[in-house]
């Protein structure tokens, strides 16, 4: 590859990132404070968490990793499944492609806005745990990694689910919750994976949420199941796979 070719490609890559960031900023301004996003992304996971933990004879500090994992999972997977069908319904998504914006840039922009939303929201339960319940950070690498890679993986999951053939946000949200609720119970959020029956432990391997929850347990000093190298490898693999499938499905959808 010649120097001239490399030089020619750098501005194109930078231009694509600028377009993706513009899409992300637009989504942040429009969708972050939509009632559906706040309800399903913030209030819903907190309500579910307390519904399944009230009355259990456990120390509150041991529940913080699960609360963070649930908040990360629900908040990050909510933005794209709301914004994409909304724009499809109003015929504004197609305008992006006439900008011109490539499908890869559009997906990156959507994923980026979901990632930032989830990242900020996840700080809230972490701060609550550190300030009020005596949580301690035992592994900074695991915690920082899950806040970055875990949110990124869940953002691509939300983007993938947004590509279903549904023309309104409520229909996509129904599909989203059909996916999220089973994953919530097999991913070590409420019940440790090691205590699940054999079929539950097998299914946990196929849930990206399992690896995010595992890293949170490691980061906050609790027993983890898979190990950090496995968590990292699986989160990266799920992220790449779901991103590629999202781009392919969006291209097929817009032909």
- 84-120 pLDDT per residue, tens: 888 877 777 767 666 677 889 889 999 999 999 999 9
The whole-number pLDDT of residue 7 equals 39
Other residues' Cβ atoms within 10 Å of the Cβ of residue 98 = 7
pTM score over 0.75: yes
Structural domain total, the chain:
1
Tell me if 208 sits within 8 A of 234, measured CB to CB. yes
pLDDT digits (tens, 9 = 90+) for 218-236: 999 999 999 999 999 999 9
Main-chain phi, psi angles of 224, to 5 degrees: -115, 165
- Residue 32 three-state SS: coil
Give the domain range for residue 238: 3-253
Tell me if 66 sits within 8 A of 100, measured CB to CB. no
**How high does pLDDT run on average in the chain?**
85
pLDDT digits (tens, 9 = 90+) for 160-208: 998 887 778 888 888 888 999 899 999 999 889 999 999 999 999 999 9
Q: What residue spans of the chain are helical by DSSP H?
A: 3-31, 35-38, 44-53, 64-76, 79-89, 93-97, 103-132, 140-145, 151-161, 169-186, 198-204, 208-219, 228-253
Give the separation between CA 155 and CA 114, rounded to whole angstroms. Answer: 5
């Amino acid at each position: 590859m010649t120097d001239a070719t490399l030089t020619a490609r750098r501005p194109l890559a930078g231009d694509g990132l600028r377009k993706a960031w513009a899409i992300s900023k637009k989504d942040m301004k429009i969708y972050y404070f939509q009632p559906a996003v706040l309800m399903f992304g913030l209030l819903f996971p907190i309500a579910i968490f307390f519904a399944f933990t009230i009355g259990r004879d456990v120390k509150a500090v041991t529940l913080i990793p699960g609360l963070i994992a649930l908040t990360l999972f629900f908040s990050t997977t909510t933005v794209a499944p709301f914004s994409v069908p909304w724009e499809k319904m109003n015929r504004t998504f197609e305008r992006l492609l006439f900008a011109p914006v490539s499908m890869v840039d559009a997906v990156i922009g959507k994923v980026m806005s979901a990632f930032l939303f989830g990242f900020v929201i996840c700080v809230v339960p972490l701060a609550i745990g550190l300030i009020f319940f005596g949580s301690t950070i035992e592994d900074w690498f695991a915690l920082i990694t899950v806040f970055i890679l875990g949110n990124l993986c869940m953002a691509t999951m939300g983007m993938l689910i947004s590509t279903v053939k549904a023309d309104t946000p409520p229909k996509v949200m129904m599909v989203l919750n059909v996916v999220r609720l089973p994953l919530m119970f097999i991913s070590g959020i409420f019940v440790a994976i090691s205590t699940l029956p054999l079929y539950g432990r097998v299914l946990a391997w196929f849930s990206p949420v399992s690896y995010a929850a595992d890293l949170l347990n490691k980061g906050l000093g609790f027993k983890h199941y898979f190990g950090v190298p496995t968590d990292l490898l699986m989160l990266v693999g799920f992220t790449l796979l779901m991103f590629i499938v999202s781009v392919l499905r969006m291209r097929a959808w817009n032909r």
